[in-house]
Amino acid sequence: MDANNLFSVEWTYLRPEMIVLGGAVLLALLDLLAGRRLPRQLFGWLALVSVVLAGAAIWQNIQTVGQPIGFMADMLRIDSFGNAFKLLFVSGVAFTFLLSFSHLQRDAIPHHGEYSYLLLIGLLGAMVMASSADLITMFVGLELLSLSSYILVGIRKHRLASNESAFKYVVSGGIASAFTLFGMSYLYGLSGTTNLHEMTSRIGQAANSGFGAMVLISFVFLVAGLTFKIAAAPNHMWAPDVYQGAPTPVTAYLAVVSKAAGFALIVRLVLLAYGGVLTEQGQSLLLTELSGYLSIIAGLTMMIGNLMALRQVHLKRLMAYSGIAHAGYLLIPFVSLTQLSFEQVIFYLLAYLVGTFGLFAAIETISRDQRTEELKGFAGLYHRAPVLAVAVTILVVSLAGLPVTAGFFGKFYLLMSALANGRYWLTAIMLATSTISFFYYFGFIRQMYMRSGETEASVKIPAGAAFIIGVAALATLLGGLFPGLPSEFIHQHFNSGFDLGGIMKPGE
């Protein structure tokens, strides 16, 4: 169903992207022409509307798309893989806007016009990353997301911390992009194409005709560059500083949307580009040597994230390390590829999304209330806002991976696939580091229930944050009691036409 020219393209399937792009353009024009005269919340609401509309359009695509549809020689590819990730991005960005309203109101974020459309552009970048099957569009999507994030991090330009983190983010992000691009150039040089589906067999041939070392070099550079987006070792160092300096909604956005987009890109790129490379025994190199490298990264990431998180007292830094640890867990289905890896990644990301966003909403509420972004702000919360404290308890228990929450089943699935593939030491690291994580996640519980805060006054929770926390806690519990529901949903709607290289074809 490939379209050869722009006129035979079935544009209807690109509605989600078009809506987001249109929303961003509209907001930019509005801001330019009438920025000062309009109520500041208007931008947020307009952006939220376009995000919701895009979500509806994605939903419609999910219902109607059977086989993958490629546009312009797979420059963009509408398939269930992309759709699943796009739904995650859209819900993440919608949460971000909900969380931002109180921020916008207080004027904590200046330039509300830019803020809103940059978030939309970042979302567009993420969507392109998830649905492109071509190096060029992949990189364009990556840069769209990155560049808009750099500005978002530094949007409070009169604050030193915000500037510092934006600067760090730009510099380390630039280096990571260079690494990625360098790796991509090897891929292009070896295969002579930027199309990932053509690349699969050509890279395989190249590896067998004496260019094996080159293939490995490209892999190492690509992965080294891409670990930046997902904040995994060795490119995780930026996360704590950047998270700390960015406005809380942007931090949550980086921790969830940006990270998930990185995963979408890595999954498709690595599976398609290297899926065709076989060892002498006829096994896929992805299942043998390359997964060895990936498992080292996964193990290191889990250990660094969880160990460093132990010593954090600043909430956002804590969440940064927690996010690093989760990136490590999320690499496990990659290391132990099975037919279910995709479902596992999506399920885990879903659990991570609700857990992290809910917790960030709570952090935002507390740090506004207590004027501190440190863990001790949570002290005595149970006496001040019991419902909020119970909701936060559910969320941290889920992030720690204890039953009966969605996070438990996320980890359960990962463990299952790792054990089924005989990845024993990785499993051991995962279990050991998860146990370590109890410590810092229960730090919230210790503060909320066992310490007394400075005041006993009840906490005022903004409506947006309350909504997010409520939805997140409820979803976390439901996901833990009936984990079959999301799994089945993911499978029913996303598994058809799931074609990522030779390894993961259905029915094998």
Q: Does 376 bind other proteins (CB under 8 A)?
A: no
Is 192 within 8 Å of 180 (Cβ atoms)?
no
- Residue 232 CB, shortest distance to other proteins, in Å, is 22
Between residue 195 and residue 214, which ones bind other proteins under the rule CB under 8 A? Answer: none
Q: Does 431 bind other proteins (CB under 8 A)?
A: yes
- Residue 290 CB, shortest distance to other proteins, in Å, is 23
Position 236: which residue type? Answer: H
Q: Does 300 bind other proteins (CB under 8 A)?
A: no
Query: Which one, of 468, 378, 481, lies nearest residue 95 by Cα?
Result: 468
Q: Does 402 bind other proteins (CB under 8 A)?
A: yes
Chain centroid to Cα 466, Å, comes to 22
Q: Which stretch binds other proteins (CB under 8 A): 83-91, 190-198, 348-356, 485-493?
A: 485-493
Q: Does 406 bind other proteins (CB under 8 A)?
A: no
Give the whole-angstrom CA distance, residue 327 versus residue 260: 9
Q: Does 339 bind other proteins (CB under 8 A)?
A: yes
Can you give 156-194 as a three-state secondary structure string?
Answer: CCCCHHHHHHHHHHHHHHHHHHHHHHHHHHHHHHHHCCC
Q: Does 287 bind other proteins (CB under 8 A)?
A: no
* Residues 68/277/413/84 CA torsion (nearest 10 deg): -20
Task: Choose, by CB under 8 A, the member of 232, 415, 461, 477 that binds other proteins.
Answer: 415
User: Which residue number, 45 or 438, has a Cβ lying nearer to other proteins?
Assistant: 438
Give the whole-angstrom CA distance, residue 292 versus residue 220: 12
Query: Which one, of 62, 93, 82, 69, lies nearest residue 2 by Cα?
Result: 69
Q: Does 474 bind other proteins (CB under 8 A)?
A: no
User: Which residue number, 257 or 397, has a Cβ lying nearer to other proteins?
Assistant: 397
Q: Retrieve residue 433's tokens.
A: 């580091």
Query: Which one, of 57, 47, 49, 50, lies nearest residue 16 by Cα?
Result: 57
- Residue 504 CB, shortest distance to other proteins, in Å, is 10
User: Which residue number, 107 or 508, has a Cβ lying nearer to other proteins?
Assistant: 508
Give the whole-angstrom CA distance, residue 85 versus residue 52: 15
Q: Which stretch binds other proteins (CB under 8 A): 129-137, 257-265, 351-359, 434-442?
A: 434-442
Q: Does 405 bind other proteins (CB under 8 A)?
A: no
Is 359 within 8 Å of 396 (Cβ atoms)?
yes
Task: Choose, by CB under 8 A, the member of 16, 204, 245, 483 that binds other proteins.
Answer: 483
Question: Could you list the residues that contact other proteins (CB under 8 A)?
Answer: 338-340, 343, 397, 402-404, 412-413, 415-416, 419-420, 427-428, 431-432, 434-435, 438-439, 442, 445-446, 449-450, 482-484, 487-488, 491, 495-496, 506-508
